[in-house]
Amino acid sequence: MGAECRYEVAQAAYVKLALHALKHPSAAVNGLLVGRLIEPSSIPAVISVVDAVPLSHHPHHLPLLPTLELALTLVEDHLATQGEGLAVVGYYHANPRRDDADLPAVAKRVGDHIFRYFPRSAVLLIDNKKLEKAIKGKSREPVVQLYTRDSSKSWLQAGSDGSSQLFLKEPSTNSVLADHVTTKKWEEIVDFDDHLDDISR
């Protein structure tokens, strides 16, 4: 289903998910992607990812369906009050190890869950090695790998055939990310785990 889609990631969403990974460098982090289908009749259809909602830095929390359901309900309720036609359009994940570039089973399960509500959903896997280069100002390449679900219900990395379905809306996004790293903006990132620990956050 995702094969006929183009995913445009806004700077705010991209920087937030990267900062979430940087805040917890030795933990698996994950969150939801928020956006909208902006050109459903075009080929390819365009999904605009405008924001990211950090969920967890405790890997044992997210596989629990009640925790995921609660987070999804809270996010969807909030989006409904905004009246901007936004929805949960995907999921992001960062592995705890620098050299681990495989999409884990938990990311596939969460992606499958979101797919039931948004059949053009995407999973973004943060590439820790690319993230290191980007924050040092050595790369303009996206620090995420795009996975989409095919007709056999498998999550496959997009672009392995040389095509690209993932685009950063603003070309200077990695420079902005590097600037945010120098000012330690990751300290401002609060995920759902943090909220459960202290509901004032």
Does a structural domain hold residue 201?
no
HSE-up (13 A, CA, CB side) for residue 133: 11
**163 is written with which tokens?**
């095509």
Is there a contact between 50 and 86 (Cβ–Cβ < 8 Å)? Answer: yes
Show the domain range for 102: 5-194
Does a structural domain hold residue 99?
yes
The rounded distance, in Å, linking the Cα atoms of 114 and 148 is 12
Residue pLDDT, tens place only, 130-167: 988 888 877 778 999 999 998 888 999 987 654 578 98
pLDDT of the residue at 81 = 85
Q: What is the β-pairing status of strands 166-168 and 155-157?
A: unpaired
pLDDT surpasses 70 at 2 = no
Does a structural domain hold residue 34?
yes
For the chain, the domain total comes to 1
Is there a contact between 26 and 48 (Cβ–Cβ < 8 Å)? Answer: no
Does a structural domain hold residue 92?
yes
Tell me the sheet residues that pair with 168: 9
pTM, rounded to two decimals: 0.86
Q: Which amino acid is at 134?
A: A
